[in-house]
Amino acid sequence: MPRRPNRRSNELRGRPHQKSAPHPLDSARLFAALGDENRLRLVARLCKGPASITGLSEGFRITRQAVTKHLRVMRNSGLVRNTRRGRHTIWQLNEHRLKDVRRYLDLISKQWDEALARLRIFVER
């Protein structure tokens, strides 16, 4: 049987990102964007304020091109955005996307808590 094209495509591409409501696909793209050590380091750098690509590349052991790719993956998930200023490209965090992730986690925790409560009631009676 031919494999179903269920995987995520190159650079986690797709429609930029959903309007709202934590859809699994959209959330998965967000988590995947954070699911790489180098990308997390980039996020840490961006936490200290906006920066250009060459600025971000300093201190990294990977090529500027690799950094560019990572940034693009994060942009496709909505995690960061970039603006052109002369010959520099300034990258910065999209904080509201971080809030999206946290909302998703809150939802999960809440449901899990309720499930545990139900289990407890079921066991105790």
Which CB atom, from 31 or from 112, has the smaller least distance to DNA? 31
Instruction: Decide: is 120 part of the binding site for a second copy (CB under 8 A).
Output: no
Angle at alpha carbon of residue 57, lines to 55 and 60, rounded to 5°: 135
Q: Tell me the C-alpha distance between 87 and 58, whole Å.
A: 18
Which CB atom, from 15 or from 48, has the smaller least distance to a second copy? 48
**H or E segment to which residue 47 belongs:** helix 37-47
Antiparallel, parallel or unpaired: β 80-85 and 51-52: unpaired
Contacts of DNA in 48-77 (CB under 7 A): 52-55, 61-66, 68-70, 73
Among 14, 34, 52, 81, binds a second copy (CB under 8 A): 34
Q: Which does 20 bind (CB under 5 to 8 A by kind): a second copy, DNA, none?
A: none
